[in-house]
Structure 1
């Protein structure tokens, strides 16, 4: 626990200072930050979490979100008042994966969703099947090749009316999620097929590596 807290302090608190990337976190798109999140998830799975009421976790989530926006607004005011910059929000601070408040929001929302009662067996099975595949959506969008293609591709959405803009953003997010899940599902099928054919059998690989050369 102490190691995880120390890592979060170094990478999340110190690493999220605007204008600096001393640990090469790239706003949360680096393997180092991904490893840090794996450690947090592993700790929650092995040791559990404080058994607070669901409303407490949800309240912390909303309070952290509000604090995040207030800090962003304050930074914007300082930028305009003293640095003579534009009046745009410091969105880079608000939405950065390494933002400590965003990490707190994510953990609280994750725990709240874990404890959310789902009575439908069909829905339970669907979520259990989709959850491992959803990571494919993250990997797809953070792929350098894909990221280069989609950069600036959605600027035309800014001219939409507010309600249409909300629907368009939600629709595109769902499409990206489904596309990522589908690709990860196909990848799993391919690897299972290769495994059943013995290509990933450790005994076969060992025999190939240890077989003496016949030349």
Structure 2
């Protein structure tokens, strides 16, 4: 999640932080998918999240001031729902790239410009966490003849899930993973990661048989 560095309110955050960040990705690609977490009102998860820090409930509208404790603000599902919806529409309203495509899932809505073929397959997924739904977007992009796909992640779970998609996609589809750390980004070709893990698994099987 792009931090609101220096922004006074949510309108500034969208205009000065998120929109430039997303727009910059079109320098090297023709399609960008933005995938948010979803709030499915899981009582157990909501209780656990609330215990992690002080609950900060704040309405997300353009002129609302950015909360000082951004981390605690993001612990509240209602905040996330409003924030992601606000940012989704801000991104769509600002999108002016020609011959390129922006795809955003806002709750159960698929926002896309220009219109996306077979968008219902993306809307039908009811997973709460973004990292599982990212794989659905990977498969959809591959089905739309995108033969080079880059997945950006900050969680090792995404790495594992992304590697698992390699054998089920077309051999012509290249999947790369950009793992974003605090101050750097490492980019890996997932086919190599898959082959290494496959060899490790094979070696483990051989050792087990001895």
Q: Shared fold by TM > 0.5? A: no
TM-score range, shorter chain: under 0.3
Q: Which has the higher helix share?
A: 1
Structure with more contact order per residue of length (Cα contacts < 8 Å, sep ≥ 6): 1
Q: Which has the higher strand share?
A: 2
Larger Cα Rg: Structure 1 or Structure 2? 1
Q: TM-score, normalised to structure 2's length? A: 0.25
